[in-house]
Homo-oligomer: A and B are copies of this chain.
Amino acid sequence: MDSVTYRIGVVDTTFARVDMGYFAVEELKKCNDVGITRVTVPGMKDLAVACKKLLDGGCDICLAIAMVGPHRLDETCAHEANIGIMNAQLMANKHILSVFVHEVETNDEKELYDICVDRVTKHARNAYLLVAKPEELTKNAGTGKRQGRQDAGPIEVKK
């Protein structure tokens, strides 16, 4: 039904404190062969089935975007959400890129915001590469790429 070549789902939450879905959409708009479907759910445990429905409905890949609160219960919740996302991928036989930012990653709100923007933007690009140009990822195999902060880079030992 789509006139575009690839359809990418963007699923985020009302729980998150940064509108990460916005940045995902902005990044994907740069790819003129991509159609975007955006859905928002209340919290991170609602992401898996929302993504699965999009994948079953024709999306080629999804971004599952969440911010994880600072408490131990939030971390448990994130773990449960990610187990669901793992299973959803296997049931749909398509990728879902899990884009989770944990409040415990930093004590600084500005830095947290920057992590959100960087991580979701880079993973939006990764989503596109996975479906459209997978060979680009292989060129960077084992090079220590990071999303949310600067790349760790490869360990420099000669082969």
A interface with B by C-beta (< 8 Å): 12-22, 38-42, 45-46, 48-50, 52-53, 56, 67, 69, 73, 75-77, 79-91, 93-98, 102, 104-105, 109-110, 112-113, 123, 126, 130, 134, 137-138, 140-147, 152-155, 157, 159
Do B12 and A90 touch across chains, with their CB atoms under 8 A apart?
Answer: no
A39–B138 touching, CB < 8 Å:
yes
Copies in the assembly, this chain: 5
Note all chain B residues with C-beta closer than 8 A to A81: 86
Of B19, B88, B123, which is within 8 A of A142 by CB?
B19
The answer to whether A93 and B141 have CB atoms under 8 Å apart is no
The 8 Å CB contact of A87, one of B22, B69, B87, is B87
A90 proximity list for chain B (CB < 8 A)? 48-49, 52, 84, 87-88, 91
**A-B contacts besides A17-B152, A49-B96, 11 pairs, CB < 8 Å:** A13-B141, A15-B144, A16-B142, A21-B142, A40-B138, A45-B82, A48-B89, A49-B90, A52-B93, A69-B152, A80-B83
**Most chain B CB neighbours (cut-off 10 Å) among A50, A52, A86, A97:** A86
Q: How far is the CA of A124 from the CA of B49 in the complex (A)?
A: 18
